[in-house]
Amino acid sequence: MGLSENQSLVRLRRGEDLTVGELCRMILALSIPAIVAQISTIIMQYIDAAMVGRLGAGGSAAIGLVSSTTWLFGGIAMAAGMGFTVQCAQRIGAGDEADARNLMKQGMLLTLAVSLIIGTAGILGSGYLPVWLGGDRSICADASRYFLIFAIFFPIERAGFTAGNFLQSTGNMIVPGMIHVGMCMLDVVFNLFLIFPESRLMGITLPGAGLGVAGAALGTGLARACSLAAMLFFLLVKSPALHLRAGEHVRFRKDQIREGFRIALPVALENLIMNSAQITSTRIVAPLGTISVAANSLSVTAESLCYMPGFGIASAATAVIGQSIGAGRSAPDTVTEHRKTTRKIGWIITAFGMAVMTLSGIMLYLAAPFMIGFFSPVREVVDLGTKVLRIEAFAEPLFAASIVGAGVMRGGGDTCVPAMICLATMWMIRIPTAMFLAPRIGLAGVWIAMCVELCCRGILFLARQAQGKYAKG
């Protein structure tokens, strides 16, 4: 079965009963590598932010101005593959690996097609985006160059993440986590030579390209290209369930594509809602000045270290829930028991995520000045960033409920209602509150609005999960 196969997950697929303790250990074993993968991605953003921060507040503000748009692009493309990774996990749970491989091929090709279209749009619009977002003229050129390079590498980035998601759908969380860590290390090396005209390492002066903000984008793109090569090798060559077989050609099946779109479209809508709201928030923050834009950007990056463990746990949740539902479908006589087990797993994972992010919220509150100080030497940026991070720390437990709850429900294909919850809370709570408070109390008002909205969203996600509809698959 190999190093990556979790024995409790194998037993779950066989329909064996697992104790609460065994379920907890399985979830922990699957979540930790996924958490490491997510944290390594954020560390890569930390590295970019810290290195660019040494160029001054303008460099940080340039990246911060377009960051919400990069998230929007990534979220839409991620959804393209999500509908197939969920089905893949369910097929593996049911023991139908041949169909799982066909779903993998369809998902990878669709993700590539969508990301090529989005990347092309990004290339064409890169010169206009910073101006449209209301950025100061002093940072628009750097922001435009950063976004152009991001758009060029966008199909590579998305293909790598989708390949990793398919590996995770098999229950293999370790390999994607290791590859993400390697990507982070490569990013350090590439940035060292691309951002600055020269740098010192162990007392030795090394020449560099001196590309500034553009160098950060290029270094990240090259690191992700290396990550893609590794992900494809382990997915298409080494994966026991999904590696390519001679004579198996991709078959585009209407029923699977239809089901993929049924799952993916609400996820795409959710990401569109979330990230368009982030873009709107950026436009609300932009008139507050370069210091506020830089503090907002760096605070978002700093906070992400706290919530990315939630996304790692959510990735494990989608795989486990999907395989549990698939196992239930393969054994109709015990489907009721499987649904009970699936719901139990869902609550254990959600509780685990909330516990982890409660702890990270406490750490965020205490370490806020050090985290922002790591990114920027500008005292005004550090003081303002510390203030808003400490506001956000109070939202982390309920933020976890929405992040992990979404992963649980996606495993069962329940994606429509979560998207509607995000639509309601983002546009009826966060944006109006931020628009009201920002002119009165500045950046703190935007983050108070965010904190209130995340708490409301988490409560609604817990209510939806309690209904248990996702467990029916």
State how many domains the chain has.
1
Asked whether residue 375 is domain-assigned, the answer is yes
Bridge partners for 207 per DSSP: 198
Q: What is the pLDDT of residues 114-158, one digit of tens each?
A: 999 999 999 999 998 888 888 778 888 888 999 999 999 999 999
Q: Which domain holds residue 160?
A: 7-472
Asked whether residue 1 is domain-assigned, the answer is no
Yes or no: say if 386 and 368 are a contact pair by the CB < 8 Å rule: yes
Tell me what the pLDDT averaged over the chain comes to.
Answer: 86
Quote the CA–CA distance of 217 and 197 in Å, as a whole number: 16
Quote the CA–CA distance of 51 and 310 in Å, as a whole number: 26
pLDDT at 276: 77
How many other C-beta atoms lie within 10 A of the C-beta of residue 245?
A: 10
Asked whether residue 2 is domain-assigned, the answer is no
Asked whether residue 222 is domain-assigned, the answer is yes
pLDDT at 4: 47
Q: What is the DSSP letter of 55?
A: T
Q: What is the DSSP letter of 15?
A: T
Q: What is the pTM of this model?
A: 0.76
Q: What percent of the chain has pLDDT over 70?
A: 92
Yes or no: say if 70 and 300 are a contact pair by the CB < 8 Å rule: no
Yes or no: say if 60 and 49 are a contact pair by the CB < 8 Å rule: yes
Asked whether residue 251 is domain-assigned, the answer is yes
Q: Which of 99-113, 158-172, 295-309, 450-464 shows the lowest per-residue confidence on average (mean pLDDT)?
A: 295-309
Asked whether residue 104 is domain-assigned, the answer is yes
pLDDT at 1: 37
pLDDT at 334: 62
Angle at 266 between CA 466 and CA 90, to 5 degrees: 70
Asked whether residue 291 is domain-assigned, the answer is yes
Asked whether residue 168 is domain-assigned, the answer is yes
